[in-house]
A = this chain, B = another copy of it.
Amino acid sequence: MTKLNQKNSEKNIKWHNLTIDRRKLERMRGHKGMVIWFTGLSGSGKSTLANAVNEVLHSEGLSTYVLDGDNIRHGLCKDLGFSDEDREENIRRIGEVANLFMNAGIITITAFVSPFISDRNKVRKIVGSADFIEVHCAANIDVCESRDTKGLYKKARLGEIKDFTGISSPYEAPESAEIVVDTGSLDLNDSVQKVINYLKEKDLLYGI
């Protein structure tokens, strides 16, 4: 894979003071970097859909990475709670990190509730609208609450979780998301297909 081995005999490293910028990294990977931002209520299937889309793109040889609660909340944002201010800062940091990954030529997939329009628009501005694909996982709250995969709605109803999105804190649905997937009624295969179809139709996955 690397040719450095063969260079053992050569005396001097060659470098040319080139900046390895986004375009060079995209050319290396064979596709553009972008941010695919999944938003929706807890239980709407964001993470499941994001990971399934990631798997499909990865299996096609595209360079992808998923940012989600698992790798963000215990690391970069472990100092933040769930107050409005902290939620805003949480999404801002994720947006900045997604932007760095995109600049590394990576298809960056995020899965966070991200309930506020203003916060998502701030990320859209950081990333640049042309490279920001907002995917609304639009399962309605009754479906999400009946699933209650993590038992969080029950706790929220009992008042054990404060400021829970959809129960005691608002979810502001996107007004013009690039993709809306009714994750309440569509099955996972069809949901994945809908996202992939959009990316293909917009010519976002092909060689550059």
Q: Which residues of A contact B (CB under 8 A)?
A: 1-5, 8, 12-20, 24-25, 28, 30-31, 51-52, 54-56, 58-67, 71, 75-76, 79, 89, 93, 96-97, 99-101, 103-104, 106, 126, 188-189, 192-193, 196, 200, 205-207
Contact = CB atoms under 8 A, between A and B. Distances in A.
A77 to B, nearest CB: 9
B126 A1 contact: no
B96 A13 contact: no
Contact of A100 (B3, B16, B71): B71
A75 B196 CA distance: 30
Q: How many copies of this kind of chain does the complex include?
A: 2
A198 to B, nearest CB: 12
A4 B205 contact: yes
Nearest to A193: B13
A20 B54 contact: yes
